[in-house]
Amino acid sequence: MLKRLLFVLLLLGLSAGLLHAEEAPRAVAIRTGRLLDVRTGELKSNVIILVRDGRIVAVGQNLRLPADAEVIDLSQATVLPGLIDAHTHLTSDHRSYGYHGLGLSTQRQTLIGVAAARKVLEAGFTTVRNVGATTYEDIALRDAINDGDIPGPRLVAGGPSLGTTGGHCDENLLPAEYAHRARGVADGPWAVREKVREVVKYGADVIKFCATGGVLSKGDDPEAPQYTLEEMQALVEEAHQLGRRVAAHAHGAEGIKLAVRAGVDTIEHSTLIDAEGIALMRERGAYLVPTVYVAEYIMEEGAQAGIPDYGLRKMRALMERRDPSLGAAFAAGVKVAFGTDTSVFPHGLGGREFAAMVRLGMTPLAAIRSATLVAAEALGMEKEVGSLEPGKQADIIAVGGNPLEDVRVLERVKFVMKGGRVYKNEF
């Protein structure tokens, strides 16, 4: 009798499990007031987005909804694809300038990343690329987000950036007796190949390196190239062979051209790009990630925010020539992918980049495309994100106004869905 009872209970349990496994996930229907089609630039009225199992299954004006669909009313909003930021540093922040940053452990930086990930997601950025961490804390952050342990955007993680001894991607604040160098330092073609392999071994999705000096690093020149063409070619070849795209930090014109000739996928900052560099980028199909607002933040608020004097001096020198250079690149049709460099300014304020890009000559629609369609292509994720189309991830945001008339409404995102899950709804 007992054996028979156990057998029946086992069958009932298996049946319940099978029924649960076969049960279709509940559909979500989003009723929009206006939907921005980023491909056509058209604002469409009264469109419904149907979501199931984290993906968009239909987009249209007269959709027949499943009887059990959960309805989200965004009829007073403008709906767009989730935004993409191709240049972030989630595991550091605006309190980490100069010598203060030396007091932050890897563990502390990881926790900074946990807080930053939530802020960035709630600001409407559902996908970001982290181009530079001290070690591999952004890899841990990515994995925790993917496992559902913490909220955050889809994270393309780079681990430590590669750089030359004494360059922008080295640590130059400590005196010689410490004999310290940053985790990504490698000199010479074979050394950079080995370093690429190491960074990929420990989980990097993308390889970032410093092709010129920088602003917030001590003792180097933003205009001076770092790495020879031979070293850059070896780095890019190794990364591409391992299936990783390459991002190159570059301010000066010569470093930009060396990096493009070496075959990099994206140029970060590109502050002093010249006509030859613009032509090369168009010819090779490289993407420009301009990080416009961060320079304005440093100039306007840097001294009060604690940016060291050497950084302020270098930024002032670059800003005298930046606007015509970037403006010319925009006008020439270089492919521009949106990036903010958040951490230099507070996380969660990345939406300010849109107005900065418009001030340099972009239309609001072009700026929005840079953070959706173009950024998705730059990251190799165009089949997953970047537009509101059937089959793609249900990464959806909404704002209260019309971003084509006032792009600054993207600084105040009120609704955020990532992968079909709502993380913010202020409507």
Task: Give the pairing of strands 83-88 and 125-130.
Answer: parallel
Q: Per DSSP, what are the bridge partners of residue 79?
A: 35, 398
Handedness of CA 87, 92, 97, 102 (dihedral sign): negative
Which residue do the tokens 């930009």 mark?
Answer: 256
Compute φ and ψ for 177, nearest 5 degrees: -65, -20
Task: Give me the catalytic one of 205, 220, 341, 395.
Answer: 341
The alpha carbons of the chain give a radius of gyration, in whole angstroms, of 23
> E strands within 182-310?
206-210, 245-250, 266-269, 287-289
Which residues have C-beta within 8 Å of that of residue 372, sequence separation ≥ 6? 38, 80, 81, 83, 84, 386, 387
Compute φ and ψ for 8, nearest 5 degrees: -65, -45
Within 13 Å and on the Cβ side, how many CA atoms surround 408?
4
Conformation bin of residue 362: beta by default, left when phi > 0, alpha when psi is -120 to 50: beta
Instruction: Please tell me the distance from the alpha carbon of residue 94 to that of residue 281, in angstroms, as a whole number.
Output: 31
- Select from 347, 290, 300 the least CA-distant residue to 322: 290
- Could you tell me the two tokens for 302? 């840097």
How many C-beta atoms surround the C-beta of residue 22 within 10 A? Answer: 7
Task: Based on the residue annotation, tell me whether 208 is a catalytic residue of this protein.
Answer: yes
- Select from 147, 29, 24, 41 the least CA-distant residue to 417: 29
Task: Based on the residue annotation, tell me whether 341 is a catalytic residue of this protein.
Answer: yes
Task: Give me the catalytic one of 138, 170, 205, 208.
Answer: 208
Active site residues: 208, 341
